[in-house]
Each structure stands twice: as C-alpha cells, then as structure tokens.
Chain A
Amino acid sequence: MRRGSYRKSPARGTNDTMTRTSSEGKKLTATVLNIQRMSTEDGPGIRTTVFFKGCGLACAWCHNPESISGRPQVQWIENRCIGCATCVEACPEGALRLDGSGMTIDRDICTGCGICADVCPSTAMELLGKEWELEMLVREVEKDRAYFEQSGGGITASGGEPTVQAPFVSEFLRHCRERGLHTALDTCGYASRRSLEAVLPHADLVLFDLKIMDSEEHRRRTGALNERILENLLFVRDFKKGSGRPLSLWIRTPLIPGATATVENLTAIAGFIAENLAGSVERWELCSFNNLCRDKYRRLGMEWEFQDTPLLSRSSLDELVEAARKMLPDPSIAQWTGAPRVEKEAATVHTKGHLKLVKGCATC
C-alpha cells in the first residue's frame, strides 16, 4: 500500500475534511482502512471492497471499531511482535511502553503519525488508515476486473461511512463506473444530503443499513437519532425512481442480541419497508451477530459491551426472520446471513467428514 503524509483531522463525522488536496498538486486522497479483494459478502458477485475510515455513528456493537474515527490509529498485534522495542524508541511522543504484560499505547498522546508502524520490523505495529491517491486506488481495484466480469461483481465502497469522504468517494466510483466496473455504496445512512447527492449518481447498488426503528433507542445505541437516516433512505428511493437507470437497493440490518435483534424492532423495520419501500428493495439482509471483533476492541484499548454476548442460535434467527417476513408484501426479500451459535446436534450435519483425507496431492 502506498502512504503519503499523515493528516491530523478532527476525530469524526465532519464531512469533507477527510478528503484534501496534497501540497504538491491537486491530487485527491482518502483515508482507507483496508482493501478487501475477493469479497463475496458485500453485494453481487466477486467484489473488491474498499473500507473508508471515519463514521458519524458509533454503534455500540460496531464490528469495525477501527473504522469509526477518521484519524489514522495504531494497533499492536501481539503474536507478530518480536519484542525488539524499535517502535518504543522511534515514537516521537513517547506514547509506547513495552513490558512483560505487552504493549501499552497511550492514546491520549499518540497522534497516529505511524512512525512506529514504519519502523516495526515484524508489522506488529500497524497503522489503521492510509492515504490513497485516487488514481492509485482505481488502478488497484481494477486488478480483479476478470473476476468481476465473470461474476457480475465489482467495487463496493464501505467503511466506516464512505459518504464522510464524499468528494473522493464520488470521484472514485465515477472512475470505476466509467471503466465499466459495477459500483456499490455501503452506507449506514447517516450522511449529509449533499454527500449522498454527490455519491449516488455513481452507484449501481446501494447497501443501506436500517438498524433500529425507535429513534430514541437508535440514539442510545448508535449516538444519533434515526430521522436523518430514514429521510435519506426515502431520498435514495426517490433518486432510484427518478434516475432513469438501473439502481439496486438492498437493506441490511445487523442482528444484535438485546439491541436490534428483537421481534418488535424487526417488525417495525419490516413495516417501514412495506409502507415506504415496497417494490424498491430487492433484498433485506439480516446479518447475524458475531464476536470476531472482540480483539479489535482490546487492541484499540476500548471496552466492548458485547464482549461476552453469545451468538444467536439458528432457531432464534429463523424466528426473527419469520417475524420480519410476516410484514412484507414480498417475504422472499428477507434472509439471514452469518454464523449461528455452534449447537451440538449440528455435528451430524457433517456427513462427509471422511473426505477430509483428500488434501492437495503432495507430490504435484
């Protein structure tokens, strides 16, 4: 990955400040967290998903807590560390301490300059959020064109919240589309109208999150009321109708135990879809809670409310989807995805276990 100089910008949610022009020219850059190739979960086909850093919401369950802040952040991956303490010596702020219990990053002092990551021999210190120039990013995502073409896939702009970096993201998607690549915008909906207006014309698909219908509860869990999100969703619907070109809309709801994953909430979301979006939504994905991000919180020095929350069982997932479907004019649009809790009886599913013997032939 290419990295330019590091930007020190306000923490989060301030639109447009994420994108800047560099001093040497007029090149657009963005802060990108990760580029995931051969992604099969972010829209149709095989996709390259670009995770843009920075989000206006701060959902209590967020699975990518490193994507919330628009600033570059550093993290320490313990099993890569060889204990050489090169980073400790290199840190200009003296923000790092390495002892028997591991690495401590003083986040009050750390500026996210990334010098520790630059000098770390083993990539145990990692800078989350790197500057990408538009042209470089377009070239990078175009590498999998052959797979996009064969699968009906393309590019997904995700995050964080990609519209936070709207000037860059709209240009990025425009360039992708001009090159014949299918484009998707994965948004939490918490965006300024201006940002949405900039990005939507360059998207072939919108993946729109609807989390909680009760606005107060939404604020309690995500930090913001949901009115703007709902308005934006209707705006997307109207834009789709008026755009005169194919634009797909998928809704996504994370199923978080004790938060979003209640029959009442899903019934309410289904009701909103039935009332306002019938015929406009092709798919509603109910994404099952998982806990794989637990270590991310620990590495960022953050508490996580869902630390010990068990995964949803298959039967409760079925029950939730059933409740959601009841309200929908076209129930087939709703489906759950993800991993349910491991249940003992599931072992019998593994009928062809003996076939594991067939590994890659060692001789050739």
Chain B
Amino acid sequence: MATITETTKKEVKEIVYSFFAEECEVDIGQINDNTSIIKDLDGDSLMFLELIEMFKKKYNLDIELKVIGKYAVKHPVATIGQLIEMQLLIIEYENRLLELDQ
C-alpha cells in the first residue's frame, strides 16, 4: 500500500488536468476540480481507461480494471476533483480498493 504524499497529490492533479486539456482540446485554465468531465469536457469512458493505464504504468500499480469498475459503481465520478480523489485511492490501495467499502 503506497503512501500518498503532497508531492503525489500535486503530481496526480497535474497529470489529470493536462490529460483532459489535451484530450478535450480545452485551455487548461478552464479546468478546475468542479469541472464536469462529461458535461463540460465531453469526456468519455475511453479517456478514463487511458488515464488509468497511464497511472498503472507510472506508479507500477497492481490493480485489475474490474476492481475499479466495481468501486466506481458505488462511488461514481462526475467531476475532475472526484476523479483525482479516485486516482489517489487507486494508487494507495490498488487491488485492495474494494476493502474501503467493507
């Protein structure tokens, strides 16, 4: 289980903001934690999947996508801020993510 530091939080936030700015062709200054991924950015599940794959590689994470899928059913993500929170939990708990609900 990884320890989430302030550096990690900052890094994840920067990656998520940059990713959506590039993918959705919007100015990064227009994105904030309350930005709706679908309504404001026209984001989709493939982008979510791509982002997860990026983090899996970057942090060498051991996590199955279906674990994230099961967690997301109970904790749906709508905004950039919620997505960052989920990514931090994925980095911290990996395949033990579902234990958070127990």
Do A and B interact with each other, yes or no? no
Binding site for A on B (CB under 8 A): none
